[in-house]
Amino acid sequence: MNNQVQLTHAASAAAWQLSIGRGSATPYSSTITAMRNAAPTLNAASMASTVRLTDASNRSTTCTADDVTCQSAFGNGSGVVQAKVVLRYPCNLDMLFFSLPNCSLPTSAAGLVQ
């Protein structure tokens, strides 16, 4: 449960950071840093993340680096842009009469770009 709570918090923090990333030289790396800082006891290397910006025409750009593609996906401020972060984290669920090894905890968060 603790991992799921931290993962959810990490997605929220990352989506917020991405939503204020317009004009930033490092929107992707700042988003990843916010994600990792929000879940300090999770293994950062095990968190799988998707960082995506979607414009008002429903065109989606997946950011994988602080490059021109990611920076230009924010647009010029005239269109609505959604910032979304999807996270997955590995788990092994063991309960009294139930075991689910190699499961994956998913979560996501989104916000409008400021």
pLDDT in tens, the chain (114 residues): 788 999 999 999 999 999 999 999 999 999 999 999 999 999 999 999 999 999 988 999 999 999 999 999 998 776 778 999 999 999 877 777 777 778 889 999 999 998
User: At 94, phi and psi to the nearest 5?
Assistant: -125, 120
Give me the number of domains the chain comprises. Answer: 1
Distance between CA atoms of residues 63 and 84, nearest Å: 10
- Residue with token string 């994988």: 64
pTM summary value: 0.89
87, 48 contact by CB (below 8 A): yes
What's the domain range around 37?
A: 2-112
